[in-house]
Structure 1
Amino acid sequence: MKLQRLRVEQFRQFRHGLELDSLQPGINLIHGPNESGKSTLVRAIRAAFFERYRSKSAGDLAPWGDSSAAPTVELTFKHGGKHWQLDKRFLKRHRCDLRVDDETFSGEEAEEKLAELLGYQFPKKGASKEEHWGIPGLLWVEQGTGQNIENAVLHAGGHLKSALNNLVGEVASSGGDEIIQAVEQQRKELLTSTGRPRGDYLELANNREALQQQVLELKSRVEQYKTQVDRLGTLADEHEQANRDRPWEEARREMQLAEKKYRDVEALQEQQARGLESQKQIQQNLSLLQQNQIHWRNQNDQLELRHQSYLKAKHQLEQEELASPELVAQVERARNQYQLANQTVQQAHLRDKRERLQKDCARLEADLTQLKQRQDKAKDIQNSLDAARNQKKKNLINRNALQALKKNQRELDDANIRIQTVATRVTWNLQPGATLNLNGQSVEGQGEKLLLEQGVLTIPDIGDLGIQPGGDDLASLRRQLERLRNSVSQQLTELGVDSVEAAEGKLARLQDAEAQIQRFDDLLKSLAPLGVDQLVSGRTEVESELLARTTELKALPEAGDTEGDPKPLSQAEAELKQAEGQLTDAEARQRNQERLLQKARYVSETTQQEWQRMQGELNSPERQSQIEGIARDIAVAEKQNAELEASLKDREALIREARPELLKQDIERYRATAEHQENAQQKRALELSEIRARLEAWGAEGLEEKQNELAADLEHVTRRYLELDRRAKALEMLLNLLIEKRQALTRRLQAPLQKHLDHYLTLLFPEASLEVDENLMPGKFSRGSELGQMAELSFGAREQMGLISRLAYADLLKEAGRPTLIILDDTLVHSDSSRLDGMKRILFNAATRHQILLFTCHPEKWRDLGVEPRDLEALKIHGETG
Structure 2
Amino acid sequence: MKLQRLRVEQLRQFRKPFVLDDLQPGLNLVHGPNESGKSTLVRAIRAAFFERYRSTAVDDLRPWGDSAAAPTIELDFEHQGKRWRLTKSFLQRKRCDLTVGTDIYSEDDAEEKLAELLGYQYPKRGVSKAEHWGIPGLLWVEQGTGQDLEQSVEHAGDHLKSALNSLVGEVASSGGDEVMEVVRAQRDTLLTGGGKPRGDYLQLDKDRAQYQQDIAELNERIVKYQEQVDRLGKLTQEFDRTETERPWEEAQRQLENTRERYQQVERLEQQQNQEKSTLAQLQQNHRLLQQNKEHLEGLSKQLAARNKELNNAERALNLAEQQTPAIANRLMEARTAYELADKQVKLARLLEARGRLEQDLRRLEQQQQALNQNLSKAREYQQQVDQARQQARENRIDGAEVKRLKATEHQLNEETIRSRTIATRLSWQLEPGASLSLNHDPLEGEGEKQLLEESSLVIPGVGTLGITPGGEELASTRRKLATLEQTFNEQLKALGVDSVAQAEHRLSAFETAERALTHAEELLKSVAPGGIDPLLAQQSEAGRELQTAKNQLQATPEPDQGESVPGLAEADAAFTRAGASLDKAESDERKHQAELLTRKQARDNASAEWQRLADEEQSPERQQQLRQLSDDLASIEKQTADLEASLASRERDIREARPDLLRQDIERYQNTINNLRQTQEARGRELRDIKVRLEAWGAEGLEEQLNEKQAEFEQCTRRYQELHRRAQALDLLLTLLTEKRQALTRRLQAPLQKHLNHYLSVLFPQATLEVDEQLRPGTFTRGSELGQMTELSFGAREQMGLISRLAYADLLREAGRPTLVILDDTLVHSDNERLEDMKRILFDAASRHQILLFTCHPEKWQDLGVPPLDIQALKEGVVGETMG
TM-score by length of 2: 0.49
TM-score, with length taken from structure 1: 0.49
Point out the structure with max Rg over C-alpha: 2
